[in-house]
Amino acid sequence: MSRIGVLAIQGDFLEHRQVLERIGTEAPEVRKPKQLDGIDGLIIPGGESTTIVQLMDIYGFREAIREKAHSGMPIWGTCAGMIVLANKLTDHRPDPIKVMDIEVSRNAFGRQVDSFEIDLDIKGIEGPRFHAVFIRAPVVNKIGKAVKVLALLEDGRPVAVRQGKLLATAFHPELTNDARFHELFVRVAKGSA
């Protein structure tokens, strides 16, 4: 059985843990860098990226997670988690931890469409389109050579990307009843996707 840790310092970590447990995956909360040692993968949840990064720096997560990412730990960031993982933001804050070769813009959909839901085709997920919930969501502006796009908006902007064992989604699979994205991440963590 895999153990997928969920960074539990701010944001909707509880929802991620519930989906993981529903699909038979152990989902310990990660509140201290030491706890990164006992897990097969890590999820950085949605929330407020400035707060998450600030707390990560206070607890010493920045270097610890960077080291794990470089030594091949599977990591998936959702929404604020995508912002945290980026190499570069078009915004002044926060200072992301820079492990994925993507440039991201926060709150990319403006006030009028603060939140919206659409059905997406996602590479690696079989069956009906995936119902994606966007809440004050970021978008990916640029990707590096090693990054693959897993899902796009109709205007061509990427909203789900993968670089080796690192995944990032602008939307929130933890807020629906569809566990297929979490299953995909578990397969990535097991080396079978």
Q: Which residues bind ligand GLN (CB under 6 A)?
A: 46-49, 79-80, 83, 106-107, 135-136
Closer of 82 and 184 to ligand GLN (Cβ): 82
Closest CB 183 distance from ligand GLN, rounded Å? 22
79 is catalytic: yes
The partner residues of 118 in beta bridges, in order of sequence, read 132
DSSP string covering 22-50, please?
Answer: HTT-B--EE-SGGGGGG-SEEEE-SS-HH
Q: Are 162 and 174 in contact (CB under 8 A)?
A: no
Closest CB 83 distance from ligand GLN, rounded Å? 5
Closest CB 47 distance from ligand GLN, rounded Å? 5
Please identify which of the residues 16, 174, 182, 183 carries the catalytic annotation: 174
Closer of 26 and 48 to ligand GLN (Cβ): 48
In the structure encoding, which two tokens stand for residue 182, read together? Answer: 């979490």
The partner residues of 149 in beta bridges, in order of sequence, read 161
Closer of 5 and 47 to ligand GLN (Cβ): 47
Please identify which of the residues 16, 21, 131, 172 carries the catalytic annotation: 172
CA torsion, points 83, 20, 40, 43, in degrees to nearest 10? Answer: 10
Please identify which of the residues 16, 29, 70, 79 carries the catalytic annotation: 79
Q: Are 35 and 62 in contact (CB under 8 A)?
A: no
CA separation for the pair 17, 145 (Å, rounded): 32
Closer of 2 and 160 to ligand GLN (Cβ): 160
Residue 72 region, left (φ>0) first, then alpha (ψ -120 to 50), else beta? left
Closest CB 171 distance from ligand GLN, rounded Å? 9
Residues designated catalytic: 79, 172, 174
